[in-house]
Amino acid sequence: MAVKTSDFPAKQRQINEDIANETFKPCYLLYGEEAYLRLQNRDKLIKALVGDSASMNFTKYEGDGCNAAEIIDMAETMPFLSDKRVILVENSGFFKSGCPELADYLKSPAETTYFIFVEKEVDKRKDIYKAASKLGLELSCDEQNEDTLRKWITGKLKSEGKSITPRALALFLGRVGTDMSNISTEIEKLVCYCIDRNEITDEDVETVCANWLTGRIFAMTDAIVERKRTAAINLYYDLLALKEPPAKILALITRQFNLMLQIKEMTQNHKDRAQIASAVGLAPFLVGKYVGWAAGYTFEELHDALEMCASNDEAVKSGKLDYIISVEMVIIGCTREKSK
């Protein structure tokens, strides 16, 4: 699971303070893998800056067909009966491929114009990224770690007058995954299901929460560490058919073997399950499963599996190997029968 960047909390607080104090920066760049955070911050800024997206002083440009000259022309247009003109540029690709004209304009934009850029990917070497960052504030909306997600889920449930048991929370994350949009939807379903009760249990999660795409991902990684090659390969191609990125799948496989190696080392050093759970960030009731898996591998096999994941990832990034084939090679390599 990805770890959020260290400056995320501070920058998120800054955006919240800008909105609360109505002291806005000329430019906000929201980017990263976590769509929920990108869109949540986008909508908050639009509402605070212009009130309504139907306003005459709000203009949205979207997609890779965005015209830089047209955006600049609109930015130079005085707002109508207001002191602000707001321009949203979303999924333009400017921050990946570059846009010299807009980058140059952002060095000295109209004082009445406020930009909100929303992109999934950015290249920090591009002039437009540097110009936007210097002019205003950039926020990397990356996938959040498990501890942050637990706190967020607990907080959302608390606001609805609900609590959740630790076991149910671990099960919930295992079923729903780390996508915050999915989590938010599943929380709504749980709250409605438990409308007459305060506490959400693991039985509620089992009943309500769909074990869909994320369930397939974890089933695949489970099949790999259990050396069930055919099942793992079939699940892998199911995930590809569902448009799951091979890079994410490889990262999850790497995570599984890394956890197994850590847990095997701690077990050998006579750490108890509570200590192991705390050290690796797993729910205590899941540690037993990993202990069992790790026992089926030697230290050499675990190191070899991690080396295979790293070398195949490097081969893809250097153009020597196709990502789809590289992950299949990892699955085959990691599911070899244990040597006798």
3-state class (DSSP) for residue 200: strand
Residue 340 lies in a domain: no
Mark whether 176 and 247 lie in a shared domain.
no
Say what the pLDDT of residue 1 is.
Answer: 39
Q: Please enumerate in sequence order all residues whose Cβ is within 8 A of that of 153, keeping only pairs 6 or more positions apart, or say none.
A: 164, 169, 172, 173, 183, 187
Segments forming the whole domain that contains residue 259? 215-334
Tens-place pLDDT, residues 182-218: 788 889 989 999 999 999 998 999 888 866 566 677 7
Q: Please enumerate in sequence order all residues whose Cβ is within 8 A of that of 233, keeping only pairs 6 or more positions apart, or say none.
A: 328, 331, 332
Residue 3 lies in a domain: no
Say what the pLDDT of residue 215 is.
Answer: 66
Domain boundary among 118, 140, 162: 140
Say what the pLDDT of residue 4 is.
Answer: 41
DSSP state string for 231-274: HHHHHHHHHHHTT--HHHHHHHHHHHHHHHHHHHHHHHTT--HH
Q: What is the CATH number of the domain that holds 77?
A: 3.40.50.300
Say what the pLDDT of residue 212 is.
Answer: 58
Distance CA 331, CA 225 (A): 9
Phi/psi zone of residue 3: left (φ > 0), alpha (ψ -120 to 50 degrees), beta? beta
What count of other Cβ atoms lies within 10 Å of the Cβ of residue 235? 23
Residue 1, CA atoms < 13 Å, CB-side half-sphere: 21
Main-chain dihedrals φ then ψ at residue 155, nearest 5 degrees: -65, -45
Q: What is the CATH number of the domain that holds 294?
A: 1.20.272.10
Say what the pLDDT of residue 3 is.
Answer: 40
Domain boundary among 208, 230, 246: 208
Mark whether 128 and 20 lie in a shared domain.
yes
Contact 27, 130 (CB under 8 A): no
* Average pLDDT per 10 consecutive residues for the chain, totaling 340 residues: 60 95 96 91 95 89 93 96 94 95 96 96 95 96 85 94 92 81 88 92 86 69 86 87 82 89 93 88 78 88 92 89 90 78
Residue 62 lies in a domain: yes
Residue 2 lies in a domain: no
Say what the pLDDT of residue 302 is.
Answer: 92
Residue 320 lies in a domain: yes
Say what the pLDDT of residue 208 is.
Answer: 85
Mark whether 183 and 132 lie in a shared domain.
no
Mark whether 259 and 273 lie in a shared domain.
yes
Mark whether 136 and 17 lie in a shared domain.
yes
Domain boundary among 191, 208, 225: 208
Residue 174 lies in a domain: yes
Q: What is the DSSP letter of 142?
A: P
Mark whether 84 and 167 lie in a shared domain.
no
Residue 276 lies in a domain: yes
Mark whether 77 and 189 lie in a shared domain.
no
Residue 20 lies in a domain: yes
Mark whether 117 and 154 lie in a shared domain.
no
Mark whether 308 and 197 lie in a shared domain.
no
Q: What is the CATH number of the domain that holds 188?
A: 1.10.8.60
Return the closest-CA partner of residue 288 out of 303, 301, 278, 277.
277
Mark whether 128 and 186 lie in a shared domain.
no
In total, how many domains does the chain have?
Answer: 3
Mark whether 104 and 160 lie in a shared domain.
no
Mark whether 233 and 313 lie in a shared domain.
yes
pTM over 0.85: no
